[in-house]
Amino acid sequence: MNCKYRCLIIFILMNIFFGICCIFLWGKIGLINFESGFLSFLAVIYSTYFSLKRKIKKELSNIQPIDEEDTNKPKSKFSFSNVILGLQVSMGIFRLCSYLILLLLLLFLMSKKIFLAIPYIIGVIICLNVVVVLKYLSQKYHDKKSNHK
């Protein structure tokens, strides 16, 4: 089985496992809060990853050779192009939509008076940790695979 599918299965199983834990600790409301935090933060991570990936590919395609005259000139610390680049990365439409989803879910939970902070924060933390660990394991798998070639 491909590493990508294994990671997806592990990701789903971790979501189910911690969702069940939240049901035992806080009931259905805890599960709703956990899943809201988990899925909305997953959308933020996913959109951030792809906006940065797209931006890096675009920057790599625009690389120009370094002139020796340019290396001797002192560079200014503030550059308008750096500000524009930062805005483009941080203001992608998918990224804005993911933050909007996160905000709307929070507002919905609060308006229905079912918001529980602890399961919500646990959902965010579990999502972040599972993504980081799976990315590390995936990278380790690919490094191991490339060393055997």
Q: What is the DSSP string of the chain?
A: --HHHHHHHHHHHHHHHHHHHHHHHHHHHHHHHHHHHHHHHHHHHHHHHHHHHHHHHHHHHT--PPPHHHHHSPPPS--HHHHHHHHHHHT-HHHHHHHHHHHHHHHHHHHTT---HHHHHHHHHHHHHHHHHHHHHHHHHHHHHHHT-
Percent of the chain with pLDDT over 70: 81
- Mean pLDDT calculated for residue range 115-120: 96
Average pLDDT rounded to a whole number, residues 135-141: 87
- pLDDT tens across 17-60, in order? 999 999 999 999 999 999 999 999 999 999 988 888 888 888 88
Across the chain, what does the average pLDDT equal?
85
pLDDT category of residue 125 using cuts at 50, 70 and 90: very high
Give the model's pLDDT for residue 43. Answer: 93
Position 23 scores a pLDDT of 96
pTM of the model as a whole: 0.77
Instruction: Say which residue the tokens 């399961």 belong to.
Output: 119
The residue among 58 and 75 whose pLDDT is bigger is 58
